[in-house]
Structure 1
Amino acid sequence: MGALLSTPKTEKYNETGSGNGLRYGISSMQGWRITMEDAHCAITQLPGNLKDWSFFAVFDGHAGALVSAMCASELLKCIVDTEEFKKVNPDLAPSIPEIERGIRDGFLALDERLRQLPQLASGEDKSGSTAVCVLITPKHIFFANCGDSRAVLIREGSVAFATVDHKPINPTEKERIQNAGGSVIIERVNGSLAVSRSLGDYAYKTAKGLGPTEQLISPEPEITVLDRDKVMDQIIVLACDGIWDVLSSDALCSLLQHRMRCSDDLSVVCNEIIDMCLYKGSSDNMSIVLVAFDPSPRAEAKYKKEDEELEQLILQRAKDFLEKSDRMPSMEIMLNHLQDFTEPELPPFLVYCKSGKIRRLLEEHQCNGQNHSNL
């Protein structure tokens, strides 16, 4: 874990879009970290013959932002530039093994291309990045994961698939690390790096006589292909470990079933998830991409009305607490106070989802000079 700020940077980047029968929303936030090293990519229509294919990805950088930024701009280009993708004919069913090879070769090509960048070749920049992406075709979903970011597919309200985090303690990962002359100490590669696959990180890719996928750190993605189900497929979530460290796949699935019935703006839903994770203890950068299929939950008047009423109740309770306080409470104290109420019973996650608005209320109260203390 790198150095942390004294207070989190809670400004968020948001993006929404649609195409090919999909809707998507993105949110990212620096949080407690000194710098923002996450990046992402969302393209609803691929170039050339692949206009009915879509691509989404999240990249979690470490030791700098160069590699994650380059991944966001170059990974898809490297994939579609492979011989396998050049042979794709939109009038014919694509060969699944060839598409898988194309994705894999694209990852390896990008890793080799990045190695040639002067900053990385000289060792001046030592950054690396995880990568998790999804390629959605009319009939299939291709998941590709390299590192400990994660993608989750939700069908009919339940987690149907989740990528496997590449950690050094995983038996197959540990075996490769040891075969390359390394060791796993305190669950890290050589006691340092917490992931066992990534792009960049060239200080861990120097074993002579071994191929790129046999090094201490491998750039090879783990690829899973699923048939699309246009009746049951609801949501794909891609997020960095800043989300997954404090929220399980199943918990996020349950949360989305509720929050997406309160708002059709997927960026709002993403923001709430990030706010929740921040106050559940995540100290990392946070990025999340939601991809919604037609059967996904949509906003309903009943849920929106209930949510608005509960939000007003929460904010009023926060205001009442401020008026009675002799000094400015911290966010932690305020959230604990609001969670203690049981009548009317609040969903356990809702106060955290509203934490962004609660923080703004505290900031406004402090600016008005009614209390004097740090948040």
Structure 2
Amino acid sequence: MGPYLTSPKKEKETENGENLKVKFGACGMQGWRNTMEDSHIASIALDNNVQVFGVFDGHGGREVALYVKDIYIKELTKLQSFKNKDYKTALEESFIRIDDILKSPQGVKDIKKYQASDDTQSSLFGRPETDNIALYTGCTACVALITENEIYCANAGDSRCVLSNNGTAVEMSIDHKPDLSTEKARIERAGGFVEENRVKGVLNLSRSLGDLEYKQDRNIGVESQMITCVPEIKVERITNNNDFLIIACDGIWDCLTSQECISMCRDYFDSTKGKGNLSSCIEQMFDKIIASDVASSGNKRQFDLKLYRWNRL
């Protein structure tokens, strides 16, 4: 079985929400891919007037992305650093905590609940049969934590967060690819190599949750593993120039630049005068960028995008 369907699945799963200060829209579409491995989170009702949004793009299977979606907010908010409003520390600790859970006996047991009922994942992705699915399966994690005055973005992988500043794209994250000099140096120090822009010729990103087979050197710290779960974190002060924030999987960025994505959203807001659900903007974008057929040069990836906008008078 190849990686693509004979015709794309264009059905979209959407979510919208808002409170007095913010509104968000989210949308996912499987497209041409055989499976949908992306997931996302949105929480606009946390204590301390904090909102958290995130995208988790799975690879090797959907299980880690789905599991992380279900446990991330709980694990983040119970950290003492989060309760102390030390959000930068909390975000880093939450990523490390998730990997620790994936290694634990309880995590190994719990993640099996997310296996496809027909058990096609192992054969489809060619991964070995194992008790711990997270050995050979993982996901990116791009999480934005937004307070009254600041935006914190924690990223591990090649999903991306982009802020619109009066219509100009401000990238809040770096795509963690194995050929980046700093990433390649860490991979090689840990005993790995980069071949055809892939770790050991296999994985095309250099940070993730899961993928535990690349994180087994007990002589080095978690931040030094061949594939690390430790995120890079960027903080921006919120100003009145900030229009909206986008978090999306690499299926979007394979087709659009950060600025093109921001401009498409701005054009939509101008045409609708800011009315309607934000997910409608994303749906329109997906329909524009999906490949017309599997042989074309257009985008044949799955899509997941979250759009966050401030409610201002």
Please report the TM-score for the alignment, with normalisation by the length of structure 1: 0.72
Residue correspondence of structure 1 range 72-87 to structure 2 within 5 A: 72-87=69-84
1:107 alignment partner, one of 90, 95, 106: 95
Paired residue for 1:260?
269
Residue correspondence of structure 1 range 74-153 to structure 2 within 5 A: 74-88=71-85, 98-116=86-104, 117-118=107-108, 122-124=131-133, 126-153=136-163
Per-residue deviation, 1:194: 0.4
> Residue 287 of structure 2 aligns to a residue in which SS?
helix
Q: Does structure 2 conserve the Cα–Cα contact (< 8 Å) formed by 1:31 and 1:284?
A: yes
1:59 alignment partner, one of 43, 56, 60: 56
Q: Does structure 2 conserve the Cα–Cα contact (< 8 Å) formed by 1:20 and 1:44?
A: no
Structure 1: 5+ residue stretches without partners:
89-97, 297-375
Q: Does structure 2 conserve the Cα–Cα contact (< 8 Å) formed by 1:232 and 1:295?
A: no
Q: Does structure 1 conserve the Cα–Cα contact (< 8 Å) formed by 2:171 and 2:258?
A: no
> Residue 25 of structure 2 aligns to a residue in which SS?
strand
Q: Deviations over 1:197-226 (max 9, x none)?
A: 000011111123112221111001111111
2:290 alignment partner, one of 278, 289, 302: 278
Paired residue for 2:245?
236
Residue correspondence of structure 1 range 301-320 to structure 2 within 5 A: none
Q: Does structure 2 conserve the Cα–Cα contact (< 8 Å) formed by 1:234 and 1:294?
A: no
The amino acid of 1:74's aligned partner reads I
Structure with higher Rg: it is 1
Q: Deviations over 1:79-136 (max 9, x none)?
A: 2221211234xxxxxxxxx321111011101111012222678344521000111111
Paired residue for 2:115?
none
Distance in 2 (alpha carbons) for counterparts of 1:143 and 1:213 = 18
> Residue 206 of structure 1 aligns to a residue in which SS?
coil
The structure whose residues are more often helix, as a share, is 1
Distance in 2 (alpha carbons) for counterparts of 1:164 and 1:118 = 30
Distance in 2 (alpha carbons) for counterparts of 1:70 and 1:251 = 32
Share of identical aligned residues, percent?
35
Per-residue deviation, 1:33: 1.0
Residue correspondence of structure 1 range 203-352 to structure 2 within 5 A: 203-229=213-239, 231-263=240-272, 264=275, 265-279=277-291, 281-294=298-311
The amino acid of 1:22's aligned partner reads V
Distance in 2 (alpha carbons) for counterparts of 1:136 and 1:115 = 29
Q: Deviations over 1:292-340 (max 9, x none)?
A: 11359xxxxxxxxxxxxxxxxxxxxxxxxxxxxxxxxxxxxxxxxxxxx
Residue correspondence of structure 1 range 1-16 to structure 2 within 5 A: 3-16=3-16
The amino acid of 1:198's aligned partner reads S
Distance in 2 (alpha carbons) for counterparts of 1:295 and 1:183 = 49
Per-residue deviation, 1:261: 2.0
The amino acid of 2:32's aligned partner reads W
1:186 alignment partner, one of 196, 203, 211: 196
Q: Does 1:71 align with 2:44?
A: no
The amino acid of 2:308's aligned partner reads V
Alpha-carbon RMSD = 1.7
Distance change in 2, residues 1:160/1:295 (3 Å): farther
Distance in 1 (alpha carbons) for counterparts of 2:37 and 2:88 = 28
Distance in 2 (alpha carbons) for counterparts of 1:57 and 1:30 = 18
Distance in 1 (alpha carbons) for counterparts of 2:31 and 2:79 = 37
Higher RCO (Cα < 8 Å, 6 or more apart): 2
The amino acid of 1:287's aligned partner reads D
Q: Does structure 1 conserve the Cα–Cα contact (< 8 Å) formed by 2:20 and 2:311?
A: no
Distance in 1 (alpha carbons) for counterparts of 2:35 and 2:216 = 28
Paired residue for 2:114?
none
Structure 2: 5+ residue stretches without partners:
112-129, 292-296
